[in-house]
Amino acid sequence: MKTRTIELNINNRAEVIELPVNPSSVEFTEKQLNQTITLLNIGEANLKGERGLKYTELSSFFPSKKSPFYKNAKYDPHKYVAMLQEWKTSKTVVRVIITDMKINLAMLIDAFNYSMKEGDEDIYYTLSLSEYRTLNVPSVQIATKVRSNGLLSRPNAATSGGTHTVVTGDTLWGISKQNYGDGSQYPKIYNANSATIESTAQSHGKASSENGHWIYPGEVLTIPA
């Protein structure tokens, strides 16, 4: 006569297996995640760790119709095997309840081994389970910055429709390339700023048309859209 009830169920008892024949003994292993370190001139030291997972193995058999224990079985042996295989392969969380040990744990099936003996229709099994614990990791949002040529932004960068202050080394071709992606559109910038460009060039004793259009640091050029 059974004095202990061992129940496995999933999805709030949507499917239930009550072991028809209890294992002769049930043992749970619970590790403590202490860490051993070796210190120079002191030797080994043990650092306190958090609680590890609980593990157990259930070994028994599913009785066939020829067995006197079949009266305790709800299914035939192959049905029990099929249910446990499905729970394992579908990664389903299994609720393990053992009445007289006050065990009520969410667990995962780590391994399921079963066998049959010659001339015996009972199916013998070993079911290995480990505790399932949810992992609650706080989310962390990290602001990302995209760098171009090592700079967060290009100094004195102008956009079409704005203005550009000329610095040493600037050319109309380069400014056009920067704003339009095409240096050959520099006449648009010249035409919009011809008066300024001509006046500044003359103040430096040059005609802007000599050897191209002369531009000088400090000039503020309008960038047409």
pLDDT of residue 169: 85
**Closest among 17, 6, 16, 109 to 55, alpha carbons compared:** 109
* Measured distance CA(198)–CA(206) in Å, rounded: 9
34 in the same domain as 118? yes
- What is the DSSP-derived secondary structure letter of residue 55? E
pLDDT digits (tens, 9 = 90+) for 46-67: 999 999 999 999 999 999 999 9
**Closest among 193, 194, 222, 224 to 207, alpha carbons compared:** 194
Angle, vertex CA 82, rays to CA 77 and CA 85, nearest 5:
125
pLDDT digits (tens, 9 = 90+) for 123-138: 999 999 999 998 776 6
pTM of the model: 0.58
pLDDT digits (tens, 9 = 90+) for 13-34: 999 999 999 999 999 999 999 9
24 in the same domain as 103? yes
Task: Say which CATH number the domain at 104 has.
Answer: 2.40.30
* Domain range enclosing 60: 6-131
Enumerate the β-bridge partners of residue 98.
6, 103
197 in the same domain as 99? no
